[in-house]
Structure formats: structure tokens, C-alpha cells
Chain A
Amino acid sequence: MAERVLDVRNLKTSFHTAYGLIPAVDGVSFHVDKGETLGVVGESGCGKSVTALSVMRLVPEPPGVIEQGEILFEGKNLLSFSEHQMRRIRGNEIAMIFQEPLTSLNPVYTIGDQIAEAIMLHQGLSQAKAIGRSIEMLRLVGIPLPERRVRAYPFELSGGMRQRVMIAMGLSCNPSVLIADEPTTALDVTIQAQILRLMRQLKQEMGMAILLITHDLGVVAEMAQRVVVMYAGKIVEEAPVAFLFRRPWHPYTAGLLASIPQLDVERKRLHVIKGTVPNLADMPEGCRFNPRCPYADDQCRAYEPELQERDGRKVRCWHPLSQDEEGTSK
């Protein structure tokens, strides 16, 4: 079995609000193997970003608090680390890239200085060597004329270029895990494809694991080996990517897949999942998806299902779709 770089177990991250302590991530478990890409999908507010921030221990405290769980990075529990130890992990062992390449770079420094700062801090290189390594990284992420660009300020670069710089910065210290939080959402489609291709290629060259957080199923299909689908702070389905797309088990996943507009099917209206994500402070009884689920029955409204494992995939549903279709239950 492949080496587990990151193993998150039963993570619960809550926030203090006017309504009390509200869990944003509630008992989430997943793992990422070496060289693997795990996609985490879900609507806005389902807890994907909070999960990512929890792994980095960057949830603002207060109001946030990681209530329980374990985050094992190469076997060590990050939740037991001191802030000081954590700083050596961040950027060095686990790197993160963000959604907004336009504002993720400091406008007053050249990009070379910014990449070099991380390298000097974590690898203890001299400034000259760190700048040399920055140029190397810029070349690696496909920035033309890296010797000149290294002296450019962020405003001199386009959005796609800046995201490449962010990737270069994230990878400059050879991390084992790269957390990408919506890395392509702010970019236009052609640039998206370039950035995704770049990330895939770099993953192969450098052998890191990627935790890819996105709401875009297309990105997941292209990048990930396995997918975790989150809904209202919980994992509702986990499966290898091909299985998930061919045959989703959870009605929510099925709804998400049906919502993707298809060019070859003529349709007057786009498919939508009725309703909205429930307020975290006011969760429905039973299955959290039941008010929006076309298949919900009394059992769904009364009892919350567990995440059940079968055939190498997991689903949190009383009536998984596959069984309906195959007629094995109900």
C-alpha cells in the first residue's frame, strides 16, 4: 500500500458565534497517499476550506477552534505541535496555494524576493542562492524569461502568471503535501487548463501529494484519483474518481453531476438541486441532506446515517442510489 502522507481522522472544527459553538467541519476523516491527488468537492460553505485551514492549523482562533480529531502528517499528529513547530511545517512540508492569485502576492516586493524569502527561511540558503533557486522555480512553472521576471512586481504579471508564481512559491521548499484551495477559480478557462496541466506535471516530477479543494467537478475529474464529497460539514461520499462520475451513490453527488451543463444534450433549463445548504446553526434532523433530497423518507428525516464503507467507497446515505438501480434493497 502506498505511503500515507496525510491522514485526517475525525476532525471537528467549530466556530464561536452568536448562536453558540457551531461545527463547520464535523467528524471528517480522509487520507492522502504519496503522489496522489485527493479532490474535495462541495458547495460554498460546506466546510472544504475550513478543512484545509485546519490541516495547516490556520483556522483563526478565536473564533475558531479545532475541537477534536487527529491530523497525522507522516505519522505525527499536527494538532499536538506547538505554533513554533507548526511554522516549520507550513510552507516547508505542507504548502498551500490560494484562490486569488491577484491578491496572494505582496504588491511591494518583487516576485523573486517573495519566493526567496520562503527559501531563505526554511532552507537557510543565502540570498544569492535563494534568488538563483527562485529563477529555477520560475522556469519550472513555465514563466518565460525567468531571469528578468524575477525582478518583476506582481502588478506587472497577469493572473495566470501570478498563480504560476504562487505555485512556484508553494513548491520552492519541496513540500510533501500541496493544498490547493480553489487554485483555478479566479482564472479564465484557457488559463485554468494550463495551470491544471502544470500542477499535474509538477506532481509527477516532484512526487508530492495534492489536496485539491474545489467546487468544480470538471477540475476534479481531470486532476484527482479519489474524491471526497462534502455537504454541510460532513463527508457524504468518498470514491475513486472514475466510479464517482460513472455511478454516484449519494443523491447529493448525483445532483451535483446532473447540474453540470452538457453541450450534447438539449435542455431548456439547467438542473438545480432544490433549496440551499442548511444554516450550520440550524441543521435539519436526521440526514442533513433530507430537505433537498428527492428520495428522502421518514427514516432519513429521523435518523442520521453513518458513513458506510463498501467496495472501496464510502457513502453516508440510507438509500444509496446504486442499490436502488440494481434493486438489491428497498
Chain B
Amino acid sequence: MNTYVATGKNEKRPAKSKAYAAIVWHEFKKNKGALIGLGLVIFFISIGLLAPYISPHDPLLMNQANRLQPPSITHWLGTDEHGRDLMSRIIHGARISTTVGVVAVLIAGVGGVTLGLTAGYWKSADAIIMTMIDLLMAFPFLLLAIGIVSILGPSLTNTMIAVGIGGIAGYCRVTRAEVLRVRELEFVEAAHALGYSNARIILNHILPNVLAPIIVMVTLTLGSSILGAAALSFLGLGAQPPQPEWGFMLNSARSFVMRAWWYSVFPGLAIMLMVLGFNMLGDGLRDALDPRLKNMM
């Protein structure tokens, strides 16, 4: 593609100016789905943050007399097989899922972007890194995560690491592709001609110009990371009891599907709505940040 034309359109991109933020917000507002997504994300993040103050009961308090109670005035969403309040557990689960998502994306993002910058900038590193990434991508995500967790041992921390590593490939590819485009632009050549070091050129001049698609990718992968972590917990490889993790709650609820519908429906609904929220927010952000990508992705 003609890079010259592409950069001509990029001219709206300087991320610092207030006017730019206003343009993005204006674009974003027009998108109903994006607003719903933003609402959902804000909702789950706030209940996660405020969990200790807003949950009606102690999420870990067992009460065998109260096993598998259907939704009622005292237990809005019912109770589980140990008599714990389901709503309180879901509220605390929001905190766990958000943290897992953010940390996993952070691992994937930092790792992937670093590798992508290196591979895109130095041709000699490109072949090695991209072969590794291709290898990584050859494994189905869940299989890879299961493999990593079984090596490290099942725990929430290791789930974040596993999901993070699984996400590296995507970030690396997107970053590399953008670097390959940006490094050919004349301002990079001009930076060389000004005597700048490679590190300075990569961090100060290339990185800010490849950030837009990475930001979009963060919001889009947050959802899938949460889903991946929930899946690992469901398989018993992530959160360990008695942690109120949604995926693990679903696993426990399996045995009671016929007797206590609320036990599997509400945690499942929570996962679905949170992932949906992040995905809709990501889509909206993508369209608002970079109109060019609308037709590409």
C-alpha cells in the first residue's frame, strides 16, 4: 500500500492534543454498542473495586443450612452448595476477573510489543523472533495455557502468566507489522541522520506511532483473556477454592445444573456480560481511534 497516502490520513493522530481527544469522543459517542460496552465495563470495574463495601454477605462464609437456596430477598441470586451468598461471590469474582484480565494483558502486551519492536526494527532478529511466534501460534490457545499451568502448577498467578504468554503472539504480530510500515517513513531516516541511537529511535519515534492499534488490541484482548482465565479455572487449573472465581464457580455448579439453575446461570451471565462489555468497548474504540481500520479488521 502507498504509505504516503496512509500517513496523510494519520495526520489526525497526535494523541496529546485536546482537540484530538474530543474528536475521538465524538466518534465514540455515535456508536451505541460502544457506549453499552463502556457502561458494562465501568459497572464491573466499580463493583470489583467496591466489592468489600457493597457485597451483602461474606463471600466465603459457609452455612450448610442454607445450601442451594433459590433467589430470595436475603440472597438475591441464591446460594451455592455450601450456603454461600452467590451475589456476594459474583461481586468479589468481578475483582478477580478484572485483575486477571489486566495482568494477563499487561504480560502479553509488554512481551509482545517488545518482541514486535525488535523483530520489526532489526531484520536479523526478525526471522528468529517470528519463527518463535509462529511456533507459539501453532498451539491452540487453551492447550498452550494448560501446558504452561501444568508446568508451573495450578494457581491464579500462574493462570495470568499462562494467559499472558498465550497473548504475546498477537501483540507481536500487530506491532511488527506497524513497525515495518513506520520504519520506512522519512522521519525515521531523518532521526538516523540526526545521530539518534537505535534505542531512542525505537522508543521515542517508532513506538508512539504504532500505539493506536495496540491500544485497540488491549481492549479487545481483555475480554478474551478474562474468558481464557475463566476457562482455565473451570478446568480446575486456575483459581483454587474457596476463591470466588467465576469460571471455577461454573465448574462447581455443573453438578447442580438440574437442581439449582441460578448457580450456573448467574456466574455464566457475569462472564458473558463482562467479556461482551470489553469487546463492544474495544470495537467502538477501534472505530473511533482509527477510521481506516474499520474496513481492514
Contacts and interface: CB of A to CB of B under 8 A. Distances in A.
Contacts of A117: 194, 196, 204
Nearest to B3: A103
Contact of B193 (A88, A95, A108): A95
B186 A56 contact: no
Interface string B10-24: 111111110000000
Contact of B195 (A102, A105, A109, A122): A122
A227 to B, nearest CB: 24
A96 B194 CA distance: 8
Interface in A98-124: 98-100, 102-109, 117-118, 121-122
A104 B190 contact: yes
A137 B105 CA distance: 44
B257 interface: no
A90 B195 contact: yes
Interface string B191-217: 111111100100011001100000000
Interface centre among B187, B190, B197 (most CB of A within 10 A): B190
A86 B196 CA distance: 10
B14 A108 contact: yes
A107 B186 contact: no
Contacts of B190: 96, 98, 104-105, 166, 169
B14 A58 contact: no
A105 B185 CA distance: 9
B4 interface: yes
A281 B228 CA distance: 55
Interface centre among A86, A102, A103 (most CB of B within 10 A): A103
B134 interface: no
A107 B181 CA distance: 14
B7 interface: yes
A99 B187 CA distance: 11
B193 A103 contact: no
B189 interface: yes
B194 A90 contact: yes
B209 A107 contact: yes
B7 A107 contact: yes
A107 B13 contact: yes
Given A108-B13, A153-B14, A153-B17, A121 B7 contact: no
A58 B195 contact: no
B199 to A, nearest CB: 11
Nearest to A114: B187
A121 B196 contact: yes
Nearest to B123: A62
A100 B195 contact: no
B103 to A, nearest CB: 28
B193 A106 contact: no
Contact of B186 (A88, A95, A103): A103
Contacts of A154: 11
A87 B186 CA distance: 18
Given A98-B189, A106-B205, A108-B208, A87 B11 contact: no
A92 interface: yes
B195 A91 contact: yes
B193 A107 contact: no
A245 interface: no
B15 to A, nearest CB: 7
Nearest to A94: B193
B193 A56 contact: yes
B186 A91 contact: no
B17 A58 contact: no
Contacts of B14: 107-109, 153, 155
Given A103-B185, A106-B205, A96 B17 contact: no
A118 B208 contact: no
A89 interface: yes
A38 to B, nearest CB: 18
Contacts of B200: 121
A100 B3 CA distance: 12
A155 B194 contact: no
Contacts of A95: 193-194
Interface string B170-195: 00000000000000011101111111
8 contacts: A86-B195, A87-B195, A98-B189, A106-B191, A107-B11, A107-B13, A121-B196, A155-B14
Interface of B: 4, 7-8, 10-17, 185-187, 189-197, 200, 204-205, 208-209
Those 6 A-B pairs whose CB atoms lie nearest each other, nearest first? A91-B194, A90-B195, A155-B11, A91-B195, A96-B193, A87-B195
Given A108-B14, A155-B11, 14 more contacts: A58-B189, A58-B193, A98-B186, A98-B190, A100-B186, A105-B190, A106-B187, A106-B208, A107-B187, A108-B15, A109-B208, A153-B14, A154-B11, A166-B190
